[in-house]
Amino acid sequence: MVETSQRDAVIKVRGLRNQFGPQVVHDNLDLDVWRGEVLGIVGGSGTGKSVLLRTIVGLNQPAAGSIEVLGTNVLTAPEEERRQVETRWGVAFQDGALFSALTVLQNVMAPMREHLKLSTNLMKELGGLKISLVGLPHLACDKLPSELSGGMRKRAALARALALDPQIVFLDEPTAGLDPIGAAAYDDLIGELQRALGITVFMVTHDLDSLYAICDRIAVLAEKRVLVEGPIETMTDVDHPWVQEYFTGPRARAAQVKKSGSQ
């Protein structure tokens, strides 16, 4: 957990407006992400959780606002400066988004080939270390994504996200589609990596177990903005219908009991 006195915002979003034709997804959205925390982004369907992630990493151009990542305004910075800051974050999308024609090792090496000037042998060695770091066996290196289970693909995507030793990792619905055991193991992996590597994790999720297990703070998207943010324990005090339903319902109570039982 990040100490209040030591807070350092690695991501600052101000006045963000995302609009697709007449549909306004975000309007005047503000958000800070603190160094070293695991931040969970939640919200109802259509609130733009993944849109927010994609906008921060540059896959969507907002209609208005500013986004500063690691001290760089990524919307206005020169191309070379932006490319430099992009090497300091990694992204794992919900479906993995792995290159289907490349092996797992080749997928992990892809960011290295793009941004680093290393020998092929060194990239292979580093790629193998990343694959091992996320708990995949060595034999997974030579497999294609189609030859992996859903859980293994998610771990392979995480290994690629970690390829350049990023300071920030973005995760889009990381446990979606996993069985409860697989989801819990993935949560444990994220928590272990965050502690071991000191990374900041920006996680879009609807999984209450994940929120209770590893998130330091929650940001709730509603009414086209960040409605509320804070530790998960404070969410039940928020006087908003969706927040109350989500954080006081039976699934939330079960997740809270599960967390209490694991401590």
What tens digit of pLDDT does each residue of 243-263 get?
Answer: 999 998 777 767 666 666 665
Q: How far apart are CA 72 and CA 191, in angstroms?
A: 27
Question: Model pTM?
Answer: 0.91
- Mean pLDDT value across the chain: 92
Rg, C-alpha atoms of the chain: 18
- Measured on CA atoms in the order 237, 242, 248, 254, is the torsion positive or negative? negative
Q: How far apart are CA 44 and CA 206, in angstroms?
A: 9
Q: What ranges do the domains of the chain cover?
A: 93-166
Residue whose token pair is 């991501």: 11
Provide mean pLDDT across the span 58-79: 95
The 3-state DSSP class for residue 87 equals coil
Task: Name, in order, each residue with C-beta under 8 angstroms of 60's C-beta and a sequence gap of 6 or more.
Answer: 18, 51, 54
Task: Name, in order, each residue with C-beta under 8 angstroms of 191's C-beta and a sequence gap of 6 or more.
Answer: 38, 213, 214
Confidence of residue 2 (pLDDT cuts 50, 70, 90): very low
Q: How far is CA 257 from CA 212, 250, 260, in A?
A: 10, 11, 5
pLDDT at residue 205 tops 50: yes
Q: How far is CA 54 from CA 92, 100, 103, 190, 194, in A?
A: 11, 21, 25, 20, 21
Going through the chain in order, the beta strands assigned E by DSSP cover 9-20, 23-34, 38-43, 64-69, 72-73, 89-92, 168-172, 200-204, 217-222, 225-230
Q: How far apart are CA 24 and CA 72, in angstroms?
A: 26
Confidence of residue 5 (pLDDT cuts 50, 70, 90): very low
Confidence of residue 7 (pLDDT cuts 50, 70, 90): confident
Query: Which 8-state DSSP code applies to residue 137?
Result: -
pLDDT score recorded for residue 251: 72
Neighbours of 19 (CB within 10 A): 14
Q: How far apart are CA 101 and CA 89, in angstroms?
A: 24
Q: How far apart are CA 259 and CA 263, in angstroms?
A: 7
Q: What's CA 89's distance to the chain center, in Å?
A: 10
- Measured on CA atoms in the order 127, 128, 132, 136, is the torsion positive or negative? positive
pLDDT at residue 4 tops 50: no
The 3-state DSSP class for residue 146 equals helix
Confidence of residue 123 (pLDDT cuts 50, 70, 90): very high
Neighbours of 128 (CB within 10 A): 19
**In angstroms, how far is the first alpha carbon of the chain from the final one?**
16
pLDDT in tens, 183-196: 999 999 999 999 99
pLDDT at residue 12 tops 70: yes
